[in-house]
Structure 1
Amino acid sequence: MAIGRLHHLVVDCPEPRALAAFWSAVLGQEVTYADEDFVVVAPSDRHSGLAFQRAPDHQAPHWGDPARPQQMHLDVMVDDVPVAHARVLGLGARRLTAAAPGAGEGDVYADPAGHPFCLVPRPGWASPVEEDRA
């Protein structure tokens, strides 16, 4: 029996509003709460989501560097990796791996605050991501 249910994954960052805007655009979800130091992105104000918390001394992880490990990363399910690649770069992401997008060698990026995330091809059991927005 579960003890609880996930409310938010809270991510430290230097600018919560800017990072929330990035993830809002990537996930197609709204900012459902915002103050100066804490911003939430979720499907609605009645859902759990990602929260971004101001951390003025935040040091971004360096991919592959054990001295500054990834801390956490998000796997983002997408319908088309090359299309998603172009869109996240346009939003301010930075590519951390050298393989061509969708080449199967890892599609790892950093969000504007340096947090790593992966673009993962949608598995066959999942409905198309675009249907989530309908």
Structure 2
Amino acid sequence: MQLTKLSIKEAEDEITKANEIIYKSCGIYPTFVRPPYGSWSDTLEKKTNMRSVLWTIDPLDWKVLDKDQVVRHVVSNAKDGSIILLHDIYKTSVEAALEIVDELTKKGYKFATIEELQID
């Protein structure tokens, strides 16, 4: 669902529901959001007090459903500071993620949290 196609109240409610689930699972409330479709607004940022995080590499894993193709795309396009978009609801994406970590680690890349990337 594209949050910006909802009313501000509906979008806030969706974010609040998701944050409550995360809190119940992890014991913390998130401060960042990866908005579906990259659809976000300054109004939502102010209302939710959350910062959006978008991606720099989108291998279209949800569409191609091919582990090897996803791995090739990510590994060949990775550079310092890259943020990779993958969808963990697909088995091929999960398998690709594991291989991507191995391949990028071999190439000397280090993985970081969003906070460590110093997003501005």
- Relative to the length of structure 2, the TM-score reads 0.23
Please state which structure has a larger fraction of its residues in strand: 1
Please state which structure has a larger fraction of its residues in helix: 2
Instruction: Determine which structure has greater relative contact order: mean sequence separation of CA pairs < 8 Å that are 6+ residues apart, divided by chain length.
Output: 1
